[in-house]
Structure formats: C-alpha cells, structure tokens
Amino acid sequence: MKPADLLAGWHDHNALLIRTLAPLGDEELGWSAGGGLWTIRVLACHIVAARAWWFHAWMGEGDDAMNQLVSLDDEQIDNPAIDAAGICAALETSWAVVHQCLERWVDKDLDEKFQRPRPNAAGERPWRDRRYIIWHVAEHDVHHGGEISLTLGVHGRAGFDM
C-alpha cells in the first residue's frame, strides 16, 4: 500500500486551504487570532515552508523551486508581502512535490532514515525515518490549517467549509 492511499484526505485539505485563502485580501491575510500570534499569511507560509524543509531539505525531494520555499515563513514575519495568489501558488508547488512522493513511495521506502541537514538549537542533528516525516508534515498541515480557520472565525468570517 502506498502512503497516498492512507493519506488521501491530505489532498483535500490542501485544496481546502487554497479555496479558503484565494479570495483573501491583504487585510485578511494580516489578521491573527490575538496579540503575539501569527497572521493568516504567516501561518499559510509556514505550512509551505515546513513541507519544503522536511521534503526538500531533509529528504532531497523536489527541485530549486521547492528549495526557495524553505524560508517562506521567515520572510513573511519580517516583511509581509506575499499575496493570496502567491500563497496559493506556493501551496500548489509544495503539494505537487508531496503528492508525487506519496504516490511513488511504497511501504519499504518508509523505513529510510534521514539526518537533519543542519544542527538544531541544541546543536544536534537527529535522524528521522520517512514514516515519521510524512506523519509530522501531515499533522503540521492540519494543525496550522485549523489555526487559519479559527483566525477567520475570530474575525467574523467563515472558517473552512468542510
């Protein structure tokens, strides 16, 4: 069985993110659920950056376009400039790489291990298997997607239309 078979709903979640974010203007992308919390723009860019970090930086999947997305969230914290169309394009680009991998990999591929490409704050470079990475990125997408939906609700807008 392929990972894509087990994670079929992830594709739907990505489509839901895109449908929800596409009509938002700059003001809405700048909303947060409260003081000190990330904006919708940063949350969406963080979803993209995490996909790129784990799939490209850790596992070497995708090309230079994926590499360019690794720091997308940091860029938007310091200089919030990307619009909804740019965010949606980044979601589509990063999802295409994830989806291709999920379709290509089979069960035996999930045991392959990868070392963190650079040390973490503790100076460590831990190893993770592909199974861990896939699950971590999927739950990360859902977690931060939920934050986006909540933030829209806090501001009186409908959240995800599930």
CA–CA gap between residue 61 and residue 101 (Å, rounded): 8
pLDDT tens per residue across span 5-26: 878 899 999 999 999 999 999 9
Strand partners, 129: 113
pLDDT tens per residue across span 64-119: 999 999 999 998 887 889 999 999 999 999 999 999 999 999 999 999 999 999 99
Question: Position 10: which residue type?
Answer: W
pTM for this entry: 0.96
Identify the band that residue 2 occupies on the pLDDT scale cut at 50, 70 and 90.
confident
Identify the band that residue 161 occupies on the pLDDT scale cut at 50, 70 and 90.
confident
Q: Is 128 left (phi over 0), alpha (psi -120 to 50) or beta?
A: beta
What is residue 147's predicted lDDT score, i.e. its pLDDT?
97
Number of H helices, E strands in the chain: 8, 2
pLDDT tens per residue across span 120-153: 999 999 999 999 999 999 999 999 999 999 999 9
Asked whether 50 and 137 are in contact (CB, 8 A), the reply is yes
Q: What is the Rg, in whole angstroms, of the alpha carbon atoms belonging to the chain?
A: 16
